[in-house]
Structure formats: C-alpha cells, structure tokens
Amino acid sequence: MTDTAPQEESPVIIVSVNLCRNANILATFLQSTTASIALIQEPRYGPLIPQCSDSDPDGIPVLGTVQHPMWDCYLPPLSDGETAKVATFIRKSFSMSPDVQVVPLLEHPGTSYSSLFLDIQIADSLFCVANIYNHVHPKGRHSSRLTHSFSSLFPFPLPTFIPTMVAGDFNTHSSTWSLPGATISSWACPLEEWFEDSDLHLVSPPGMATRLGEKTG
C-alpha cells in the first residue's frame, strides 16, 4: 500500500520479504540485495552473544536479530516476553549520506511487536515507511477461530499529509486483492477501512498472487 512517493533523481530501492525466522537466509539476503531499505517480516530473533559482566561469568543475556556490517537494524520496542515480528534494515552507505536522516517512530501509536514506522528525510523530501506483519494465531488453545495483530493500527489512521508506504506480510484474504475463491479473513473489512481512512492505494494489481513459494507444514 502506498500513496504518492517522493520524487528523487536517484530512486530509493525498498524491498519487503518474510524470511521465516531463518538467520542464514537473512544474512545472505542482506549480503546480496541491492536495496537501500529492507523491510523484514519474521526475522530471526533470539539470543545473541551475551554482554560481558564483571559479576556474572555467563554474561548478560542479549536478544536481537542478525547483525551485518553494511546495515543498521531497527526493531520495535518490546514488552517482556514479546518477540520482534519485524525488523527494518537501512543500508549504512545510504543513511550516512549528509542529505539523509532516518528517524524510528518508536512512540507511534501503531507501533507494536509486529509493526514499525520510520520517517525517512532525503534533502527536502520526507516520507514514512511502515513495516507490518500480521501475526495470525488461534484465539484460544482449543479454538478454531483466528485472531490478528492489527489491533494497534485500526484506531489510528495514518496522516494523509505525509507520503507513506505500508508494506509487509498481511496474512489476509480480501475480496479486493485475493484470488477468486479465497475465504475472506474476518478482519479484512476493518483493514480495508484503515487503508481507506489513511488514503492508501493498492500497488499490486487486484487478483494477482503476491506470495511466491510452496506451502509448507
């Protein structure tokens, strides 16, 4: 989803991909992609090398995702027990330009463990990039009903005066974009209303498959 993108002489390449919590694939992707901004859903998130501690020989536990020397990584703020479902990587050669400023919006009302917003300033142009993963899971241990993680977004439509790109893995079937015969997700209607209230427009042609690969599991 996007509205009018900023016009720049040199285009900013932005990619969005779900990497299924695989650290090796994420590291390889960061090494090989030509993008300036990488929006990752389901990054590998877990224990890193512990910080040194004078009082604890085992060190201080640290949680995080893959680190790469060519990239800065931004994660959403997390509460105890939460796992980051999104990670936004900004190429250092891009962000270190004197004309570029990257501001993570950690206090954005739509920010959660599965959504992260960043403002990108390039010279006199400002736009926002939203990285979103819809964490779909059973409503209860023995329930067949599914719940979603859009609850932090729906009450807060995006400001229409800032060009914004919303990308990610929405895990949602809708009559607007899904293939014929798909079972429409119960949260599709409020999601579409949020898109409309935020003045967002579908980039991919309606009815075109947006998922590559074979279903596993």
Cα separation, 156 vs 76, whole angstroms: 17
Cα separation, 55 vs 157, whole angstroms: 47
pLDDT top residue among 79 and 53 = 79
CB-CB contact of 129 with 39 (8 Å): yes
Domain containing residue 147: 14-48+62-197
Question: Does residue 145 form part of some domain?
Answer: yes
Question: Does residue 27 form part of some domain?
Answer: yes
pLDDT at residue number 54? 76
- The DSSP H or E segment spanning 64 is strand 63-64
Q: What's the first-to-final CA gap in the chain, in angstroms?
A: 29
The per-residue pLDDT for range 61-120, each reduced to its tens digit, is 778 999 999 999 999 999 988 999 999 999 999 999 999 999 999 999 999 999 999 999
What does pTM read for this prediction? 0.87
Question: Does residue 69 form part of some domain?
Answer: yes
Question: Does residue 7 form part of some domain?
Answer: no
Question: What 8-state DSSP symbol labels residue 175?
Answer: T
- The DSSP H or E segment spanning 189 is helix 188-197
> Domain holding 183: CATH number?
3.60.10.10
The per-residue pLDDT for range 130-185, each reduced to its tens digit, is 999 999 977 655 455 678 999 889 999 999 999 999 999 999 999 998 888 889 99
In the chain, the number of structural domains is 1
Question: Does residue 125 form part of some domain?
Answer: yes
Question: Does residue 71 form part of some domain?
Answer: yes
Tell whether the model's pLDDT for residue 209 goes beyond 50: yes
16 forms beta bridges with 39
